[in-house]
A = this chain, B = another copy of it.
Amino acid sequence: MAVRLADVAAHAEVSAATVSRVLNGNYPVAARTRARVLRAVEELEYVVNGQARALAASSSDLVGILVNDIADPFFGIIAGAVQQEIGGDPASGAMEKLAVVCNTSGDPQQELRYLTLLQRQRAAAVVVVGDAAESAQHATAVAAKLNGLAAAGTRVVLCGRPPLPAAYAPSALTLAFDNRGGARRLTEHLLALGHHRIGYIAGPAGRTTTRHRLAGHSEAMSAHGLSEAQTRRLTVHGTYDRASGYDAALALLAREPALTAVVGANDALALGACAALRDRGIQVPVDISVAGFDDLPFSSDVTPSLTTVRLPLAEAGARAGRLAMGREQPPPGAVSRVRGELMARASTAPPRRKPGRKTG
């Protein structure tokens, strides 16, 4: 298929310029001419060359969405919302952006690589979803990259990631999740129910979200007069998947058989913990309460329904998409904090008076 604009022009017996004008619809063209051109396009099955167009017009219709784990619905939901907001409305016709998701596997190297690739393509916008590795080296490398993109005219939006260091000021619009506040309220909920020995299954070490959620938890524990050493002792790290939650729950139980509650840093970890407890013959929430974070769709639907913190993922994604398209007013200071809402459900309850439960 080597049919070019010139071929269409010849076929329609007009100049290339006219064809271009018809295709882009941003210039007056006589109705008859336009019809002739469009027919030629049909007949020749012409499809514009995006790269030539982008080069000539110095404009790109590529929008990149970076996610840490494409197999995790947390990212899928956000990415889907961004994508829908950007390219989703086929009815609206001309909106022809190619919104596209890239899976970094949470690997900072991959993150940089994809950003470079998108920069090569002169992407119109980049939306980076989810938390970041905490290495300072990396943070600056990524920040520099994002800054470069922004300088080149690419709109940069962070969604579910802390804002860039002040040095890079408003080069990126940010929708930060209030992980710390959400985690704090969740643990406060358990404390209010009367729990003291609360185990915590954190996310992978060295990640911003892991740290912030853990900080919120610790904050609540300390405010309630529980020692930091104890809190630390009842914290183990996992990898945000169910199997990891299963193992972590067993590890916590081994450390502290008198545990009355377990908090997972996300819903998958919490459900893994539930499974482990069930296999041990421990009932949720009668014997041990369990809580998660994120409120993915299945969480309200499992048995017992999971107490968790609801993050408005789809809404945040949609908003990120609009910001990326410049269709929404940037938040003041370029940073907006998205709150999580405590969803108290059936998996948490007051602890039993006596710890008389089987441990088999």
Contact = CB atoms under 8 A, between A and B. Distances in A.
Interface of A: 1, 45, 47-55, 60-62, 64, 69-73, 76-77, 79-80, 83-84, 87-88, 90, 96, 98-103, 105, 109-110, 113-114, 116-122, 148, 151-153, 241-243, 246, 271-272, 275, 278-279, 297-298, 301-303
Contacts of A96: 117
Given A51-B121, A272-B301, 13 more contacts: A47-B148, A48-B120, A51-B122, A55-B55, A80-B105, A83-B102, A87-B117, A90-B109, A98-B114, A98-B121, A100-B100, A275-B302, A278-B303
Contacts of A64: 100
A80 B70 contact: yes
A105 to B, nearest CB: 7
A83 B100 contact: no
Contacts of A110: 88, 90
A100 B66 CA distance: 10
A1 B151 contact: yes
Contact of A101 (B87, B90, B103, B242): B103
Contacts of A122: 49-51
Contact of A90 (B69, B100, B113): B113
A62 B102 CA distance: 12
7 contacts: A50-B120, A50-B121, A51-B52, A61-B117, A71-B80, A242-B298, A279-B303
A297 B242 contact: yes
Contacts of A50: 51, 117, 120-122
B45 A148 contact: yes
Contact of A246 (B1, B47, B62, B301): B301
A119 B52 CA distance: 13
Nearest to A53: B120
B101 A101 contact: yes
A303 to B, nearest CB: 5
- Which 8 pairs of residues, A with B, have the shortest CB-CB distance? A71-B76, A50-B120, A1-B152, A100-B100, A51-B51, A50-B121, A51-B54, A98-B117
A103 B83 contact: yes
Contact of A76 (B51, B72, B113, B120): B72
